[in-house]
Amino acid sequence: MTPLTTVSITARKVVRYGVYSITLFFLVRFAVQTAITLYRKFFPPAPPPPTVAFGKLPKIPFPMEPLANVTYKLETPDASLTKLAEQLPVFVMPPVTPKINAFNDAKDKAQKLKFSVDGQNIIENIPNVYIFKKKDSTAILTMNIISGTFSVSYDLASDTTVLQIKPSSQEKSITDVTAFLQKAELYTEDLSGDPITQLIRVEGGTLKEAISLSEADFVKVNYFRKKIEFGKSTFGSITPDYPESNVWFITNGEDVVLGEYHYFPIDETKSATYPLKTSEILWKELGEGKAFIINPQNQKGEIVIRRIYLSYYDPGQSASYYQPVAVFEGDNNFFAVLPAVTDEYYGDK
C-alpha cells in the first residue's frame, strides 16, 4: 500500500471517529441534562426557610360565626386531604392616617362620582362620616372621609325611575362600573382581579338573584384583589361575605345605584414568609369548631367538603397584615376559613 493510500485511509478513520465522538458527546450531554431535569422535577430543592421577619402576627379579624351541631364529610376530587403549600408570604397593610385636607378630598371624590360637594355630617358621635346627595335623585353617597370607605344607596321604594333602564350585558356593566371608579381614581391595579358578576331583579321591594339577563333589573359587579404569585402557584382572596366582595356596585346599565367600597391597600414590597399548617391539622381544627363560617344560615347536619385550598383573607377593614388562610368549600355555598400560619406565630395582639 502506497503512503498516499495509507494517509487517505487514516484521514477517513479520523473523520469517522471524530463524528462518532461528537455524536456520543451530544448524546451523553442530552442524557445528563434529561436526568438532571427529571431529578429536579421529582426531587426539587428545598425552599429557603420562612423568614418570619414580622415576628408574632396579630389575630385575623374574623367576625366569628359559630356553627353548632354539624359534622363534616370529606369528598374532595381525590377523596383525600389536599396537600397545601408549606409557606406563603404575609404582606404589610399600611395604616390609615388622617389627612388635614380629608374633607376636601372627600368632596373631590363625591364630585367625580357625580354627587353634590355639599357634604353633611349626619352622625354626631362619628364625626368622620358624611353624606353627599345627588340632584334630582334619591341616591346618597355615605363616606368615611378618613378611611375613604363609602357606600351608595338608592330609595327604590319612593323612586322607581332607575328600573326603566335595563342592563344590556354583563360585560358592558363591568366596563361602566370600572369607568365609574376610574373617574374618582379609585380603581387600582390591586383591584384588577377577574370581576364576578351577578344578575339582580327587584321583587316586592327587595333585591333577588335573577336567572337570566332578560329578567334582570341590574347587574352586580364584584371586584377582587389580583392574585398573589408565589412559587409556581397563584392565590386569590376571600372576604367576610364571600362570594360578595368588599368592593361591589350595582348598575342598571346607565347609573350606579347601589354599592360598597371597602378597600385597604397592601404593600407588596414589604413581605415576610411564614410556615403554614398542614391540611391534616386544619381539618382537625375545622372539626373542633375553630373556623370562621361564611353565611352560616341554612347550614346544618352533615356538611360535605368538596375543596380545600389556600387563599388570602381580605377583611374589608383596616388591618396590619394581609394574611394567608385555608378555605374549606362545600355544598350549599359553604365556606369555612381558618388562619393558615402555624399557631406559634400568632400573638395576643
pLDDT of residue 11: 59
pTM of the model: 0.84
* Sequence letter at residue 276: L
Cβ within 8 Å of residue 267, ≥6 positions away: 91, 92, 93, 94
Distance between CA atoms of residues 287 and 281, nearest Å: 10
pLDDT of residue 270: 96
Arithmetic mean of pLDDT, 232-254:
94
pLDDT of residue 32: 65
pLDDT of residue 48: 82
The string of pLDDT tens digits covering residues 162-217 is 888 899 899 999 999 999 999 999 999 999 888 999 999 998 878 999 999 999 99
DSSP structure string for 308-348: EEEEEE--SS--SEEEEEEEEEETTTEEEEEE-B-GGGB--
User: Is residue 307 classed as helix, strand or coil in its secondary structure?
Assistant: strand
pLDDT at 281 over 90: yes
Distance between CA atoms of residues 197 and 215, nearest Å: 15
Q: The dihedral of CA 114, 103, 118, 161: what is its sign? A: positive
DSSP structure string for 71-131: EEEE--TTSSPPP--SEEEEEE-PPP---TTHHHHHHHHHHHTT--S--EE--TT-TTEEE
Residue 151 banded pLDDT, cuts 50, 70, 90: very high
Read off the C-alpha cell for 274. Answer: 411564614
- 9 or 222: which carries more pLDDT confidence? 222
Residue 306 banded pLDDT, cuts 50, 70, 90: very high
Residue 302 banded pLDDT, cuts 50, 70, 90: confident
Q: Is the peptide bond before 243 cis (omega within 30 degrees of 0)?
A: yes
The string of pLDDT tens digits covering residues 119-132 is 888 766 677 899 99
As a whole number of Å, the CA-based R_g of the chain is 29
Distance between CA atoms of residues 241 and 131, nearest Å: 25
The string of pLDDT tens digits covering residues 97-125 is 888 889 999 999 999 999 998 888 876 66
CB 236 within 8 A of CB 222: no
Distance between CA atoms of residues 176 and 89, nearest Å: 34
